[in-house]
Structure 1
């Protein structure tokens, strides 16, 4: 057997043993994730599903989101909205300590 073959078999053997140790160590977590672990505790405390039907939050005209406004034309009926922002907004507060690290 050549030297590289011995090394390859050794690496494969160590890998298999390592994987088996990891699986044995985390077996309880693996069974929980896979959903194969038996339920523990009182099964009476698990609530039953009453209904699968989802009821809408609102009925009629308001049951669908109108992202283009109430009339669906992309316009707002609100008046008095500023459309010139050249002077900017009045500064209400300032933070000068962000992203400085420690």
Structure 2
């Protein structure tokens, strides 16, 4: 989507803030049941993002990854007005690389 709509971006930023709040609540949930309810809410909220946004953040869908994607997207649309650091760009592309299941340190159940 070229010329990323300012209103849509504002809505996405507000939604990321909500997700970040849910992440904090999940981390401090008093019981596993409450954490599960909050995780379900997180998933439902994250499903409201545009499809291209969800695809681009599939490997790093936390609030930090979502904010990074917004910065990278803005950079590619207008690099003069929206500069980013080399480290941010590297972090974004690194987050786009799926985990190699054969070399991962933990077990992936079938």
Please, what TM-score do these two structures have when normalized by structure 1? 0.27
Q: Which has the higher helix share?
A: 2
- Please say which structure displays the higher CA radius of gyration: 1
Between the two structures, name the one with larger relative contact order (CA 8 Å, sep ≥ 6): 2
Please, what TM-score do these two structures have when normalized by structure 2? 0.25
